[in-house]
Chains A and B, each alone.
Chain A
Amino acid sequence: MLTVLMALPPPDPQFVLRGTSAPVHTLHFSCGGPEPDIPLLFSGSENGFIHVWNLKTHRVDTALDGHGRKSVYCVETMGGKDRLLSQGRDQRICLWDLAEGRTSVTDSVFTEHMGFCRCSLLKVAQGRWLMAMAARSLEEVQILELPSKTSVCTLKPEVGAKLGMPMCLKLWQLSCGSQPVLLAGYEDGSVVLWNVSMGKALSQLSCHQEPVMSLDFDSEKAKGISGSSEKVLSIWCLNEQQNLQVYKTHELVNAGISDITIRPDKKILATAGWDHRIRIFSWKKLKPLAVLDYHTATVHCVSFSDHSSPWDRLLAAGSKDQRISVWSIYAQT
């Protein structure tokens, strides 16, 4: 059978946001609000500013300066666009109140963490969150309850485990009300599953030879993916006994992944590469779908939007070249 392949060239970004004047390290969408709410994109840059981008005008609505001009490497919203959480290299996590045009830091947590590990948020009840963050001590992860800032537990690997620093965290729970669980990727290339309530490790899996740079997890399929500074993407799954097992690996063309994120509908995932490219894969079978080549420097972060209408869904990528590219890709599934 003669097969002639006619693939379309990859799409161009729908638009590009310029104006951060510094490499972009983190992105977070807030577009789920009903009309007339404006869809927003939050970005954290190396110069310590958090920019609030208006996705209708493609301009910055507000610039928040709360980390003493130290790089901001994590931004998250807490139940809507009026409450923001940001984490910076000034070793602080700040909670912002952005309602009604305010731009004030209502609270902050001093993490004493010198690294780049992004914190992870999980809503456990109305107005209550759990936050996992890398703590002062080298290998530890601390779980705090927000907004009370009380410590829930500290997850310490056993002595001699030599996991190194935690590099990336993901808090999740199977369903509302069930036990919260943490997935942590470490410097030695392993991913550890922690039971938060009991404070102990349930399973450890060595996925990579190099530090785990980023991970994401699909709780429905109990399957996760991690990327590191090498050429391999590792997909692992969680079996009934709560054990992590490697499911498959995928070799990339160029080494180095900064960020991985799975789209909320669990159909596709995006990776941010050190080779300046964003790669899209299908989540079901990890089939390579597209390579988006726009940026001229390392892509630091990728994020999918939370639009309620599937047709509006976007993918944003922030790069060292100070630009944020926004793409509409596979939005029609």
Chain B
Amino acid sequence: MQILFLPFKRGNNLQLFSSSSGLDPREVVEVLEQFLQEGRVSALLWEVCHQQAQAGCLELQDSLLNKIVCLPEHVSNKLQGENPPVFFPQNYFPLLGDAVLQVLEKISDSLRGGLDCSISFVSHVLGKVCVHGRQKEILGVLVPRLTDLTKSDCIWQRMCWRLVECVPDQLCFLPDPQLLGSLVVKNKKAQFVVTQKMLLLQYGHTTAVLQNLLGYLSLDSLRRPLLLRVLQELLETWSSSSAVKHSPAEQQLYISKAILICLSHLKEPEIESCRQELLTSMMEGVKCHLDSSLPQLRRLGMVVAEAISLKINTEGPVLKFEKAGAALPLVLESSEKSHTAAPVTPGEESDAELDSDDDLIPYDMSEDKELKIKAPVYIRDCIEVLTGSRPEDVDKWEATVKALESLVRRNPAATREVSVELAKILLHLEEKTCIEGFVEIRQRAQVAVLTTDPIPVAKYLTSQFYSLNYSLRQRMDILDVLVLAAQELSCPKFLGKTKHSGVQKPCIPLLPGSDSSKDWRRIVDERIKSKTRRFDMGQSRVELASHPNEFNSVAGYFFFPLIQHFDRPLTTFDLLGEDHLVLGRLVHTLAILMYLAVNTVVRKGIEQGWLPAWEPEVPSGTAMCFRACCTETGSKLELSGLRS
């Protein structure tokens, strides 16, 4: 066998395996198989290590390294499906592992014997195997044995560290911190891998690996500063809003786990020293996490914040979140109990929200408010609703009716456009649902329409008074509305019961005054007051603000049409006959109108113009009677000062 490898020693080209060498691959493989089975790999490795100590031939070593590690691939490439089982990776690499162990033993013996020995080739082999992804097979053999050997023997420990030192990238594959020793403190690369790469750059490792790693850092006092630094850096990432927004959820979970494990390892004096930083990071981090739109991130933030808060506030108020969601299987034992944290898996969120009856988690009910049917905002919409044929929308109808008066008063211009139509609708409006004070509401709406646009609406109403097919109630309504509107128009201040929200001017100032003019007036008044001696206060009189009488221009439209046809009976309306009830009302109305017209220009016309208007149709007797009644009623009203 050694003959085959003599060419290696002499640095010949290793083309033995290629078909161009003329040898049958199968035969070569048979030889190799025998080579492996007789444990010659370890001899080979020992040769190299031995040689390395004396002189190096890098090229040879590299190719040897390549061949040793890639032997399974080469063989299977050649033989395709006919590999002997010893060349399968799952068999080959454990075998290689054994060989490595044997070599290491030899090396340790040699070292004890005082001879120098290089271990770098072995560690390169190890490293390359791990890079090729076969760490499980080879480490599965190596690690248990090494763990045993390094327990008490310091030479073995040193050897182990040296082994690992050469391949710091593969640190993650070593589950046992003992094998690492203080490597991380001395070796910069190892430190980088442990504190940065494995925690911040990678996130695929299991919780067990994390626990081991961070436990390893916490075990030795030399390494504890690293632990603190690691925690700081983890917290920095955790509380960075861009990290929360952009890094994947798995990475955030990984970092959160790492933070929680670190926290569990912290001792009191260490917490004391970084309490402020912890608090700051926690506040920032919590904010970023709660702002996230993903519920699992929010939950992660809450869990970590709670843990931090628990750590930094051993007494006093502690941050506690009510997490609507799974009963998270989160168990974080305090550092007093043990240094190894119990498994922390805040990510295990099941979709189940409920454990038992009492834990039925309520949903957000902040949107649940009183249902308000909104009335239309525009007059034309009101018209649509009121004339609408849809019988189902009674809620809307009701809301419209109630809101109509205020809408009319607030939008006089819009009302004027549709005033007659509105008046018509209101006159015919019947109660659809049981609204309290429906009649009053309707009347007020009618009055509002009439006062907003007196002339056309008055014309309409008075014409309707003497029209066919109205009920007595409706005719009397017309009269009432006319009276109320006349009152409102002629009154110096508004009698409207609804409070107008300041949109309507309470009165039209006769003299436009500027602010400064008011000021000097006030100053003058005060000066006069202060310099005047008063003997008697006298009767206080409230001075009413004056404004034009709006009834003035429209009184005629209210009055004259009403007196036109009083004696002409219609088929459905006989004022002087059956329906004399209305006659009384009419007289009353006319009287009030006359009274209210007292300051108007039309008054003379009203008082004197009756008779000519009726001749020659009306027997003068009737007309005179009528007029007398009205005047009488009117004077009565004047005397009593009553306004109905």
Residues of A within 8 A of B (CB): 1-11, 253-254, 267-268, 275-277, 282, 284-285, 287-291, 293, 320, 330, 332-333
Contact = CB atoms under 8 A, between A and B. Distances in A.
Given A7-B361, A289-B363, 18 more contacts: A3-B320, A4-B290, A4-B302, A4-B321, A4-B322, A6-B290, A6-B323, A7-B363, A8-B361, A10-B363, A10-B364, A282-B357, A289-B362, A290-B365, A293-B368, A320-B392, A330-B354, A332-B351
Nearest to B367: A293
A267 B322 contact: no
Contacts of B322: 3-6
Interface string B389-427: 000100000000000000000000000000000000000
B353 interface: yes
Contact of A291 (B321, B354, B367): B367
Interface residues of B, number: 32
A238 B364 CA distance: 33
B295 A8 contact: yes
Max count, chain A CB within 10 A of own CB: residue among B320, B353, B371: B371
Contacts of A8: 295, 324-325, 361, 363-364
A267 B360 CA distance: 9
23 contacts: A1-B317, A1-B318, A2-B319, A2-B320, A3-B321, A3-B322, A4-B302, A6-B323, A7-B324, A7-B362, A8-B324, A9-B364, A253-B369, A267-B360, A268-B360, A282-B357, A284-B358, A287-B362, A289-B362, A291-B365, A330-B360, A332-B352, A332-B353
A6 B368 contact: no
A2 B357 CA distance: 25
Contacts of A9: 363-364
A227 B237 CA distance: 54
Interface string B145-168: 000000000000000000000000
A85 B465 CA distance: 58
Max count, chain A CB within 10 A of own CB: residue among B317, B321, B325, B363: B363
B298 interface: yes
Main secondary structure of the interface of A (DSSP, over half): loop
Contacts of A293: 367-368
Max count, chain B CB within 10 A of own CB: residue among A11, A267, A288, A291: A291
Max count, chain A CB within 10 A of own CB: residue among B290, B318, B321: B321
Given A8-B324, A332-B353, A288 B362 contact: yes
A76 B410 CA distance: 54
Contact of A6 (B324, B354, B370, B392): B324
A46 B302 CA distance: 51
Nearest to B360: A282
Contacts of B363: 7-11, 289-291
A285 B359 CA distance: 11
A268 B635 CA distance: 75
Interface string B320-333: 11111100000000
B163 to A, nearest CB: 50
Contacts of A4: 290, 302, 321-322
A7 B357 contact: no
Nearest to B368: A291
A253 B295 contact: no
Interface in B278-312: 290, 295, 298, 302
A332 B369 contact: no
A289 B360 contact: yes
Contacts of B353: 330, 332
B314 to A, nearest CB: 15
Contacts of B367: 291, 293
The 6 A-B residue pairs with the shortest CB-CB distance, nearest first, are A7-B364, A290-B363, A275-B371, A291-B368, A10-B363, A332-B352
A210 to B, nearest CB: 14
A320 to B, nearest CB: 8
Contacts of A1: 317-318, 320
A21 to B, nearest CB: 15
A333 B368 contact: no
B298 A6 contact: yes
A266 to B, nearest CB: 9
Nearest to A291: B368
Nearest to A231: B370
A6 to B, nearest CB: 6
Contacts of A2: 317, 319-320
A5 B351 CA distance: 19
B351 A288 contact: no
Nearest to A283: B357
B321 A254 contact: no
B320 A254 contact: no
A285 B363 CA distance: 16
A253 B357 contact: no
A11 to B, nearest CB: 7
A284 B354 CA distance: 14
